[in-house]
């Protein structure tokens, strides 16, 4: 039977899915919000987004490993009960049993699926050969390189011949060259239409990787995780990392992501009364970014920074947003440029740096209001709960505890306020003449 003209079959799907985590004390962390995503037959779907945006959670919900708080999970159009049996996983961490040989690692997975003994041996041998590990059947994981360990991980997943292969950051722990070959090999296994896996769903924060692999790229927003946009990738296969088409799409995704995470906030005339959300980057990270920019002549492309400093771009963008909020950098398009204030900071002595940082903090409403509250309080200090309430009321969509942690980090970094974890009290630091 041919189905050339019909819509592709939908293998699994989430509809209007939310996921909340209870943080205790009535606080709830919303990790996913309103996720709609269908995995069709014969496609590679990639979930792309910064760390913590909920990519793995989406995989786990589709697989039936985690229940959504709201919404539906379907397996071939039917509500999913328990685990989805059609999914094989490849994890970032390889997840191998160190006391078992390569063969036993693969066989144990098949045995767990209650396959007959002869079939276990036959499937394991075939999968090990497929991933190029013939001759290493009796080796132990400790004797293998990272790339070879991941080949065992892939053999385990392939040996199950699952309808869908789910891969969670599968190549982020192997060197770049090995990652390139592993990607190509996974696609070779996926390509024949008459064989499983029919479809692949992968999680990645590597833009080049997803453009190389995927037919559809689901770009996610963080806090809470939402589908920002879905980009169709019709580049012909096999793909070449250096082809103009691929580089163009990489560029477009860069723009989508930076557009998402580096909003050029419209300047409000006069004093804005809105609290600014604090990007959760530590003072040391902000300082590191400024020093890096200074060493690069004052400007650099944000993705170049991530590559150079071996950071995830999500992290670099957060540090950049923090530095921008404090007036240390500007971000025209994708470039991060040291501002005059940023340059002043880098050139200053350690003590002067603290003073500049403090000055910048006191341009933010949250820090001003805490300073004013401390001045008014007879005790010369305020409680953690007071600051939390201030944050919760003025930044209702932010995670107020994370914001408080960043507030404390910055205040300490600039010697503005101290915070005592035991008494949960925020007080002026010695450097800060708050009472004056």
Judged by the rule CB under 6 A, the positions of this chain that interact with ligand ADP are 21, 29, 31, 49, 51-57, 203
Q: How far, CA to CA in Å, does 15 sit from each of 19, 275, 302?
A: 12, 34, 34
Shortest Å distance, C-beta 23 to ligand ADP = 7
Specify whether the CB–CB gap between 335 and 299 falls below 8 A: yes
Residue whose CB is less far from ligand ADP, 233 or 399: 399
Residue whose CB is less far from ligand ADP, 66 or 335: 66
Nearest 5 degrees, angle CA 116-CA 117-CA 123? 85
Q: What is the largest CA-CA distance in the chain?
A: 84
**CA nearest neighbour of 398 among 275, 286, 313, 285:** 275
Which is it for strands 299-301 and 335-338: parallel, antiparallel or unpaired? antiparallel
Phi (first) and psi of residue 67, to 5 degrees = -95, 140
Shortest Å distance, C-beta 53 to ligand ADP = 4
Shortest Å distance, C-beta 28 to ligand ADP = 10
Specify whether the CB–CB gap between 150 and 92 falls below 8 A: no
Residue whose CB is less far from ligand ADP, 109 or 220: 220
Shortest Å distance, C-beta 202 to ligand ADP = 12
Residue whose CB is less far from ligand ADP, 27 or 184: 27
Residue whose CB is less far from ligand ADP, 51 or 309: 51
Shortest Å distance, C-beta 221 to ligand ADP = 11
Residue whose CB is less far from ligand ADP, 331 or 399: 399
Alpha helix (H) ranges present in 69-175? Answer: 102-112, 117-130, 146-159
Shortest Å distance, C-beta 97 to ligand ADP = 24
Ramachandran assignment for 390, one of left (phi > 0), alpha (psi -120 to 50 degrees), beta (any other): alpha
Shortest Å distance, C-beta 56 to ligand ADP = 3
CA dist 38 and 73 (Å) reads 10
Q: Which long-range contacts (CB under 8 A, 24 or more apart) does 244-250 make?
A: 246/208, 246/211, 246/212, 249/211, 250/207, 250/208, 250/211
Specify whether the CB–CB gap between 138 and 102 falls below 8 A: yes
Shortest Å distance, C-beta 61 to ligand ADP = 9
Residue whose CB is less far from ligand ADP, 31 or 289: 31
Residue whose CB is less far from ligand ADP, 63 or 364: 63
**CA nearest neighbour of 220 among 32, 21, 434:** 32
For 216, the enclosing helix (H) or strand (E) is strand 216-221
Shortest Å distance, C-beta 89 to ligand ADP = 14
Residue whose CB is less far from ligand ADP, 52 or 146: 52
CA dist 311 and 368 (Å) reads 32
């Amino acid at each position: 039977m041919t189905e050339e003209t019909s819509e592709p079959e939908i293998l699994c799907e989430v509809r209007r899915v939310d996921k909340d985590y209870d943080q205790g004390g009535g606080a709830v962390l919303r990790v996913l919000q309103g996720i709609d995503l269908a995995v069709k037959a014969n496609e590679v779907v990639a979930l792309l987004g910064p760390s913590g945006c909920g990519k793995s959670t989406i995989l786990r919900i589709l697989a039936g490993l985690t229940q959504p708080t709201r919404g539906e999970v379907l397996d071939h159009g039917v509500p999913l009960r328990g685990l989805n049996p059609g999914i094989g996983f490849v994890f970032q961490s390889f997840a191998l049993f160190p006391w078992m040989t390569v063969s036993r690692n693969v066989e144990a997975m098949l045995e767990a699926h209650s396959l007959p003994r002869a079939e276990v041996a036959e499937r394991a041998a075939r999968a090990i050969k497929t991933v190029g590990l013939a001759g290493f059947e009796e080796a132990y994981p400790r004797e293998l390189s990272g790339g070879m360990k991941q080949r065992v991980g892939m053999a385990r997943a392939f040996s199950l011949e699952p309808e869908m292969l789910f891969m969670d950051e599968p190549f982020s722990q192997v060197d770049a060259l090995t990652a390139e070959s592993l990607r190509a090999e996974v696609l070779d296994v996926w390509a024949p239409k008459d064989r499983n896996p029919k479809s692949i769903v992968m999680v990645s924060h590597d833009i080049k990787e997803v453009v190389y692999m995927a037919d559809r790229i689901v770009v996610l927003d963080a806090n809470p995780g939402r589908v920002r946009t879905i980009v169709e990738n019709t580049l012909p296969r096999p793909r070449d990392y250096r082809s103009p088409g691929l580089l163009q799409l990489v560029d477009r995704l860069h723009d989508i992501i930076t557009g998402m995470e580096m909003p050029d906030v419209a300047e409000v005339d006069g004093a804005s009364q809105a609290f600014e959300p604090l990007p959760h980057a530590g003072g040391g990270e902000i300082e590191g970014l400024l020093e890096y920019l200074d060493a690069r002549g004052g400007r650099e492309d944000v993705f170049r920074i991530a590559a150079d400093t071996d950071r995830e771009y999500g992290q670099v963008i957060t540090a950049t947003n923090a530095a921008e909020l404090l007036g240390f950098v500007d971000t025209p398009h994708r470039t991060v440029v040291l501002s005059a204030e940023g340059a002043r900071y880098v050139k200053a002595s350690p003590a002067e740096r603290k003073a500049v940082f403090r000055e910048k903090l006191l341009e933010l409403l949250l820090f001003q209001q805490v300073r004013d509250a401390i001045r008014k309080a007879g005790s010369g200090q305020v409680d953690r709960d007071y600051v939390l309430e201030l944050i919760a009321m003025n930044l209702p969509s932010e995670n107020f505890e994370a914001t408080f942690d960043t507030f404390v980090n910055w205040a300490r970094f600039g010697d503005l306020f101290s915070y005592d974890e035991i008494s949960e009290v925020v007080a002026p630091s010695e450097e800060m003449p708050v009472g004056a």
